[in-house]
Amino acid sequence: MRRPLLLVTAMALGGCSLVPDYQRPEAPVPNAYPEGAAYSAAADGDASQISWNTFFQDPALHQLVALALENNRDLRKALLNVDAYRAQYRIQGAALMPEVGIDGRGGRSRVPGDLAPGGQQTTAGNSSLEVGLTSYEVDLWGRVRSLDKAALETYLASDDTRRSVQLGLVANVAIAYLTWRTDQQLLSVTRSTLENYRHNLELVQASSGAGTASGLDVRQARTLVYSAEGQVHAFTRQVAQDKNALALLLGSPVPQDLPATDLAAPLLAEIPAGLPAGVLEQRPDISAAEHQLMAANANIGAARAAFFPSIRLTGSAGSASTHLSGLFDSGSAAWSFTPQIHLPIFNGGRLKASLDYAEIQKDIGVATYEQSIQRAFREVTDGLAAKGTWDKQIHSQQALVDSATEYSEMAQKRYDEGVDNYLTLLDAQRQLLSARQTLLTDQLAQMTSKIELYKALGGGWSEAAVKPEPATQ
């Protein structure tokens, strides 16, 4: 009766756990998005289920994002980190099982006569073959299981971090590409305007030679040419740098055969904003922060278990003989069993400090988790504010471009007819160039804000929103 009772007691103790019950912290954000003139109505839906190749409606973007997902080094490192943490989880999980091995030993020794007890030299040998159990810890207080739980949560957090890196990469590639194309258009607009300025300068110089234009008109016309030339050089440099930045994100050179992109066409699909609670489930960075918090919670259990006695078992069974030929003879059986118990009594406060550290790390994890929620809420509300205002702003800017175009055409006609001086034409042309450039930068800002909202809502990765399977021990 005693042995079954001891076995049942050990099994019952093996189920003990000192890990605190995990409670998800309350989200430190409102339950609804802000309302007001700046915000559009939030359509209910799940942006994480809209894959990037559905959200981006431009074939060139499809090609570039696919290339980046294959070659980007940051994403590659994130994938390797997942594999590394998975291996660490498997290593930690192996501690739950006893380590068994086969050890074979053999040797011979000679003792000189002047050192031997009988004064005669002796030669002796021994051989052994054993199956051994190596220092297996009986996990009575759940210390090893707590460390295994922490390793699992860290592994899951690494996969969420990988998804977050992928999400950011998809958004950054799209923004970098649209920035490159926008700067190309800005360069084109400025070049065409420069040609117009040079043509006007030639006309003013000719009029000045004929005595119908003043030297002031010539200098004003030349000022516009120099200003536009400076902008052409600046945009030329920016286009080259944009392409370099895009190549870095792609992890390879920018393809030369990209399809043409019309920035005026609808390049991005409409996305639902969902509700704040839904965002918390979709954002991989929030999920990663919670897994790290659960890992810190599990480490508290391991720190608590260190205060209790630990039992380690070491044993072996096999055969031993003074001669290799007699290793398996009758009577050569050999075994050893060495249980070891350790009860901490005094360690200079190390265990208490370790527990304090584990609890502080959990508090840090709570703050990090809450901060990730607040950051997500801010990014979504910023995106909703942008979504609710950019359309109206671009409409107004387009109206300004149309008005500036008419103003420039009328000023050119009145100058040609001698009704107005060149200062009026100069002002009209300057306003037109500025309005056209602002319209292009506003359109880029609108598309950028839409991509950032898509990212903030957890979109940007096309795989199913499921957790990876735990690694096989």
Residues 370, 373, 375, 378, CA torsion sign: negative
- Domain boundary assignment for the chain: 15-99+138-308+349-456
CA-to-CA separations, 458 to 153, 273, 288, 380, 381, in angstroms, rounded: 21, 10, 13, 10, 14
Give the pLDDT score at 405: 94
For residue 225, give both structure tokens.
Answer: 């040419």
The secondary element (H helix, E strand) that includes residue 71 is: helix 59-71
For residue 380, give both structure tokens.
Answer: 């979504």
CA-to-CA separations, 274 to 171, 271, 313, 416, in angstroms, rounded: 19, 9, 56, 58
Averaged over successive runs of 10 residues, the pLDDT of the chain (473 residues) comes to: 42 66 89 80 66 89 94 93 92 85 77 73 75 81 91 94 92 96 96 91 82 79 92 96 96 92 87 67 88 95 90 82 70 80 87 94 95 91 87 94 94 83 85 94 94 85 47 51
Packing angle, helices 422-456 and 215-250, rounded to 10: 20
Give the pLDDT score at 17: 80
313: phi then psi, degrees, rounded to nearest 5: -115, 130
Angle at 128 between CA 126 and CA 131, to 5 degrees: 165
Give the pLDDT score at 78: 93
Give CA–CA dist 138/255, Å, rounded.
60
Considering the entire predicted model, what is its pTM?
Answer: 0.83
Q: What is the CA radius of gyration of the chain?
A: 37
Looking at domain 15-99+138-308+349-456, its CATH class is: mainly alpha
